[in-house]
Chains A and B, each alone.
Chain A
Amino acid sequence: MSTQEIRFSGFGGQGIIRCALITGKALALYDDKFATMTQAFGPEARGSACAAQLVVSDERVLYPYITHPGTLMALSQEAYDKYYGELPKGGTLIVEEQLVKLRGEHPDLRLLRVPATRYAEELGNRLFTNLVALGFFTAVTDVVTADAMKKALPGLVPDRFLKINIKAFDKGYEYGLKLTGQSNGHES
Protein backbone atom coordinates (compact mmCIF):
# COMPACT_ATOMS: atom_id res chain seq x y z
CA MET A 1 0.00 0.00 0.00
CA SER A 2 1.31 3.41 -0.81
CA THR A 3 -1.50 5.87 -0.16
CA GLN A 4 -5.22 5.33 0.23
CA GLU A 5 -7.82 8.04 0.47
CA ILE A 6 -11.14 7.39 2.13
CA ARG A 7 -14.17 9.58 2.52
CA PHE A 8 -16.76 8.89 5.22
CA SER A 9 -19.98 10.77 4.63
CA GLY A 10 -23.55 11.02 5.83
CA PHE A 11 -25.56 13.57 7.73
CA GLY A 12 -24.53 15.38 10.89
CA GLY A 13 -25.24 13.41 14.03
CA GLN A 14 -24.75 9.98 12.44
CA GLY A 15 -21.26 9.65 13.83
CA ILE A 16 -19.49 10.17 10.55
CA ILE A 17 -16.59 12.06 12.03
CA ARG A 18 -16.40 9.44 14.76
CA CYS A 19 -15.96 6.79 12.03
CA ALA A 20 -12.96 8.63 10.64
CA LEU A 21 -11.52 9.21 14.11
CA ILE A 22 -11.78 5.54 15.05
CA THR A 23 -10.26 4.41 11.76
CA GLY A 24 -7.50 7.00 11.91
CA LYS A 25 -6.61 6.13 15.48
CA ALA A 26 -6.64 2.40 14.65
CA LEU A 27 -4.27 2.93 11.73
CA ALA A 28 -1.92 5.41 13.38
CA LEU A 29 -1.68 3.77 16.78
CA TYR A 30 -2.23 0.06 16.19
CA ASP A 31 -1.60 -0.69 12.51
CA ASP A 32 1.67 1.23 12.23
CA LYS A 33 0.51 3.48 9.40
CA PHE A 34 0.55 7.20 8.87
CA ALA A 35 -2.99 8.54 8.95
CA THR A 36 -4.22 12.10 8.62
CA MET A 37 -7.86 12.91 9.29
CA THR A 38 -9.64 16.09 8.32
CA GLN A 39 -13.31 16.81 8.72
CA ALA A 40 -16.19 19.05 7.85
CA PHE A 41 -16.65 22.05 10.12
CA GLY A 42 -19.38 24.61 10.46
CA PRO A 43 -23.09 24.05 10.03
CA GLU A 44 -22.67 21.02 7.72
CA ALA A 45 -21.27 19.00 10.61
CA ARG A 46 -24.44 19.63 12.58
CA GLY A 47 -27.36 18.17 10.66
CA SER A 48 -26.80 18.49 6.96
CA ALA A 49 -24.29 16.65 4.74
CA CYS A 50 -21.20 15.86 6.72
CA ALA A 51 -17.92 14.31 5.67
CA ALA A 52 -14.57 13.32 7.08
CA GLN A 53 -11.51 12.43 5.08
CA LEU A 54 -8.74 10.04 5.88
CA VAL A 55 -5.44 9.79 4.03
CA VAL A 56 -3.51 6.64 4.89
CA SER A 57 0.03 5.87 3.88
CA ASP A 58 3.16 3.90 4.71
CA GLU A 59 5.02 7.21 4.63
CA ARG A 60 4.27 10.55 6.17
CA VAL A 61 1.15 12.12 4.66
CA LEU A 62 2.13 15.41 3.04
CA TYR A 63 -1.13 16.60 1.52
CA PRO A 64 -3.80 16.23 4.20
CA TYR A 65 -6.88 16.39 2.00
CA ILE A 66 -8.39 13.95 -0.46
CA THR A 67 -7.39 14.29 -4.11
CA HIS A 68 -8.01 10.77 -5.46
CA PRO A 69 -10.57 9.06 -3.21
CA GLY A 70 -10.43 5.29 -3.50
CA THR A 71 -13.19 4.48 -1.05
CA LEU A 72 -16.43 6.29 -0.25
CA MET A 73 -18.72 5.34 2.58
CA ALA A 74 -22.07 7.12 2.19
CA LEU A 75 -24.67 6.78 4.92
CA SER A 76 -27.15 9.28 3.49
CA GLN A 77 -28.71 10.08 0.15
CA GLU A 78 -27.24 13.58 0.09
CA ALA A 79 -23.75 12.30 0.81
CA TYR A 80 -24.03 9.65 -1.89
CA ASP A 81 -25.34 12.15 -4.44
CA LYS A 82 -22.62 14.63 -3.60
CA TYR A 83 -19.61 12.33 -3.61
CA TYR A 84 -20.07 9.16 -5.69
CA GLY A 85 -19.05 10.98 -8.87
CA GLU A 86 -15.54 11.55 -7.58
CA LEU A 87 -14.75 7.84 -7.33
CA PRO A 88 -12.46 6.53 -10.06
CA LYS A 89 -13.08 3.36 -12.00
CA GLY A 90 -12.63 0.45 -9.64
CA GLY A 91 -13.23 2.60 -6.57
CA THR A 92 -15.09 1.17 -3.60
CA LEU A 93 -18.54 2.54 -2.85
CA ILE A 94 -20.15 1.52 0.43
CA VAL A 95 -23.72 2.71 0.95
CA GLU A 96 -26.36 2.27 3.61
CA GLU A 97 -28.94 0.00 2.04
CA GLN A 98 -32.09 1.68 3.35
CA LEU A 99 -30.97 5.28 3.34
CA VAL A 100 -29.41 5.50 -0.11
CA LYS A 101 -31.35 5.07 -3.32
CA LEU A 102 -28.82 4.33 -6.03
CA ARG A 103 -28.78 6.44 -9.20
CA GLY A 104 -27.57 3.52 -11.26
CA GLU A 105 -25.88 0.16 -11.16
CA HIS A 106 -22.37 1.60 -10.98
CA PRO A 107 -20.77 -1.17 -13.04
CA ASP A 108 -17.42 0.66 -12.88
CA LEU A 109 -17.33 0.66 -9.11
CA ARG A 110 -17.04 -1.96 -6.45
CA LEU A 111 -20.48 -1.38 -4.95
CA LEU A 112 -21.29 -2.76 -1.52
CA ARG A 113 -24.53 -2.21 0.38
CA VAL A 114 -24.92 -2.64 4.10
CA PRO A 115 -28.18 -2.69 6.08
CA ALA A 116 -26.47 -0.81 8.88
CA THR A 117 -29.57 0.94 10.21
CA ARG A 118 -31.54 -2.29 10.40
CA TYR A 119 -28.75 -4.09 12.24
CA ALA A 120 -28.33 -1.15 14.59
CA GLU A 121 -32.04 -1.14 15.35
CA GLU A 122 -31.85 -4.85 16.07
CA LEU A 123 -29.19 -4.02 18.63
CA GLY A 124 -31.58 -1.56 20.21
CA ASN A 125 -30.64 1.83 18.80
CA ARG A 126 -30.02 3.28 15.38
CA LEU A 127 -27.19 5.31 16.92
CA PHE A 128 -25.03 2.25 16.34
CA THR A 129 -25.45 2.54 12.58
CA ASN A 130 -22.02 4.04 12.17
CA LEU A 131 -20.29 1.21 14.02
CA VAL A 132 -22.11 -1.42 11.97
CA ALA A 133 -21.02 0.40 8.83
CA LEU A 134 -17.48 0.67 10.16
CA GLY A 135 -17.31 -3.05 10.85
CA PHE A 136 -18.55 -3.66 7.32
CA PHE A 137 -15.98 -1.23 5.91
CA THR A 138 -13.22 -3.03 7.81
CA ALA A 139 -14.28 -6.39 6.40
CA VAL A 140 -14.69 -5.39 2.77
CA THR A 141 -11.59 -3.21 2.36
CA ASP A 142 -7.95 -3.89 3.14
CA VAL A 143 -7.40 -0.52 4.82
CA VAL A 144 -7.36 -1.44 8.49
CA THR A 145 -7.43 -4.54 10.69
CA ALA A 146 -10.41 -5.42 12.86
CA ASP A 147 -8.09 -5.88 15.79
CA ALA A 148 -6.78 -2.32 15.52
CA MET A 149 -10.28 -0.95 15.14
CA LYS A 150 -11.46 -2.57 18.35
CA LYS A 151 -8.40 -1.34 20.20
CA ALA A 152 -9.20 2.16 18.99
CA LEU A 153 -12.74 2.22 20.38
CA PRO A 154 -12.08 2.94 24.07
CA GLY A 155 -11.99 6.68 24.56
CA LEU A 156 -13.88 7.31 21.32
CA VAL A 157 -17.18 5.77 22.41
CA PRO A 158 -18.61 6.21 25.90
CA ASP A 159 -17.34 3.53 28.29
CA ARG A 160 -20.81 2.31 29.15
CA PHE A 161 -21.59 1.72 25.48
CA LEU A 162 -18.27 0.10 24.57
CA LYS A 163 -19.57 -3.47 24.58
CA ILE A 164 -22.58 -2.74 22.45
CA ASN A 165 -20.49 -0.72 20.03
CA ILE A 166 -18.14 -3.68 19.65
CA LYS A 167 -21.20 -5.86 19.05
CA ALA A 168 -22.37 -3.46 16.36
CA PHE A 169 -18.93 -3.45 14.80
CA ASP A 170 -18.86 -7.27 14.78
CA LYS A 171 -22.29 -7.42 13.23
CA GLY A 172 -21.19 -5.28 10.31
CA TYR A 173 -17.85 -7.03 10.11
CA GLU A 174 -19.36 -10.51 9.91
CA TYR A 175 -21.87 -9.40 7.33
CA GLY A 176 -19.05 -7.89 5.28
CA LEU A 177 -17.04 -11.10 5.40
CA LYS A 178 -20.06 -13.14 4.40
CA LEU A 179 -20.98 -10.83 1.57
CA THR A 180 -17.48 -10.89 0.12
CA GLY A 181 -17.10 -14.63 0.63
CA GLN A 182 -14.32 -14.41 3.19
CA SER A 183 -14.04 -16.76 6.13
CA ASN A 184 -14.13 -15.02 9.46
CA GLY A 185 -11.18 -17.03 10.74
CA HIS A 186 -9.09 -13.90 11.26
CA GLU A 187 -11.80 -12.07 13.08
CA SER A 188 -10.58 -10.99 16.45
Chain B
Amino acid sequence: MLFYSYFKTLVGKEITVDLKNDLSITGTLHSVDQYLNIKLNNIKLANPAKYPHMLSVRNCFIRGSVVRYVQLPPGSVDVELLHDATRREARGG
Protein backbone atom coordinates (compact mmCIF):
# COMPACT_ATOMS: atom_id res chain seq x y z
CA MET B 1 0.00 0.00 0.00
CA LEU B 2 3.08 2.28 0.04
CA PHE B 3 2.56 3.70 -3.44
CA TYR B 4 -1.22 3.96 -2.99
CA SER B 5 -0.57 6.06 0.13
CA TYR B 6 2.10 8.07 -1.67
CA PHE B 7 -0.10 8.82 -4.71
CA LYS B 8 -2.88 9.97 -2.40
CA THR B 9 -0.53 12.72 -1.19
CA LEU B 10 -0.27 13.89 -4.84
CA VAL B 11 -4.03 14.42 -5.38
CA GLY B 12 -4.58 17.88 -6.89
CA LYS B 13 -1.03 18.03 -8.31
CA GLU B 14 -0.09 17.85 -11.97
CA ILE B 15 1.54 14.57 -13.06
CA THR B 16 2.50 13.00 -16.37
CA VAL B 17 1.56 9.36 -16.91
CA ASP B 18 3.51 7.45 -19.58
CA LEU B 19 1.55 4.42 -20.80
CA LYS B 20 2.85 1.15 -22.23
CA ASN B 21 1.29 2.06 -25.60
CA ASP B 22 3.55 5.17 -25.68
CA LEU B 23 0.70 7.60 -24.93
CA SER B 24 1.91 10.30 -22.53
CA ILE B 25 -0.84 12.11 -20.64
CA THR B 26 -0.42 15.11 -18.35
CA GLY B 27 -3.22 16.11 -16.01
CA THR B 28 -4.28 16.95 -12.49
CA LEU B 29 -4.44 13.85 -10.29
CA HIS B 30 -8.09 13.46 -9.27
CA SER B 31 -7.87 10.10 -7.48
CA VAL B 32 -6.03 6.81 -7.20
CA ASP B 33 -7.15 3.40 -5.89
CA GLN B 34 -5.39 0.36 -4.44
CA TYR B 35 -4.71 -1.08 -7.93
CA LEU B 36 -3.01 2.22 -8.79
CA ASN B 37 -5.74 3.00 -11.32
CA ILE B 38 -5.44 6.75 -11.89
CA LYS B 39 -8.02 9.41 -12.68
CA LEU B 40 -6.75 12.60 -14.31
CA ASN B 41 -8.59 15.86 -14.93
CA ASN B 42 -7.92 18.49 -17.63
CA ILE B 43 -5.64 16.21 -19.59
CA LYS B 44 -3.09 17.24 -22.23
CA LEU B 45 -1.30 14.85 -24.55
CA ALA B 46 2.41 15.08 -25.34
CA ASN B 47 1.64 14.30 -28.99
CA PRO B 48 -1.99 15.36 -29.73
CA ALA B 49 -1.57 15.28 -33.51
CA LYS B 50 -0.86 11.54 -33.36
CA TYR B 51 -3.91 10.80 -31.20
CA PRO B 52 -6.65 13.18 -32.47
CA HIS B 53 -9.44 11.01 -30.98
CA MET B 54 -8.27 12.03 -27.49
CA LEU B 55 -9.12 15.68 -28.14
CA SER B 56 -12.74 15.08 -27.12
CA VAL B 57 -11.67 13.81 -23.69
CA ARG B 58 -11.01 16.18 -20.79
CA ASN B 59 -11.08 13.79 -17.81
CA CYS B 60 -10.02 10.15 -17.88
CA PHE B 61 -9.53 6.91 -15.96
CA ILE B 62 -6.30 5.01 -16.67
CA ARG B 63 -6.13 1.32 -15.77
CA GLY B 64 -3.16 0.81 -13.44
CA SER B 65 -1.81 -2.16 -15.41
CA VAL B 66 -1.14 -0.07 -18.55
CA VAL B 67 1.05 2.48 -16.75
CA ARG B 68 4.77 2.39 -17.53
CA TYR B 69 5.93 5.50 -15.62
CA VAL B 70 4.52 8.40 -13.67
CA GLN B 71 6.66 11.53 -13.84
CA LEU B 72 6.44 13.15 -10.42
CA PRO B 73 6.53 16.86 -9.62
CA PRO B 74 9.97 17.45 -7.98
CA GLY B 75 8.56 19.55 -5.12
CA SER B 76 6.31 16.71 -3.98
CA VAL B 77 9.02 14.11 -3.37
CA ASP B 78 10.35 13.98 0.19
CA VAL B 79 13.03 11.32 -0.05
CA GLU B 80 13.41 10.87 3.72
CA LEU B 81 9.70 10.09 4.09
CA LEU B 82 9.91 7.67 1.17
CA HIS B 83 12.89 5.87 2.70
CA ASP B 84 11.10 5.52 6.05
CA ALA B 85 7.89 4.30 4.41
CA THR B 86 9.83 1.81 2.26
CA ARG B 87 11.65 0.34 5.28
CA ARG B 88 8.34 0.09 7.14
CA GLU B 89 6.76 -1.67 4.14
CA ALA B 90 9.76 -4.03 3.78
CA ARG B 91 9.31 -5.13 7.41
CA GLY B 92 5.74 -6.02 6.53
CA GLY B 93 4.30 -2.89 8.15
Q: Do A and B come from one complex?
A: no
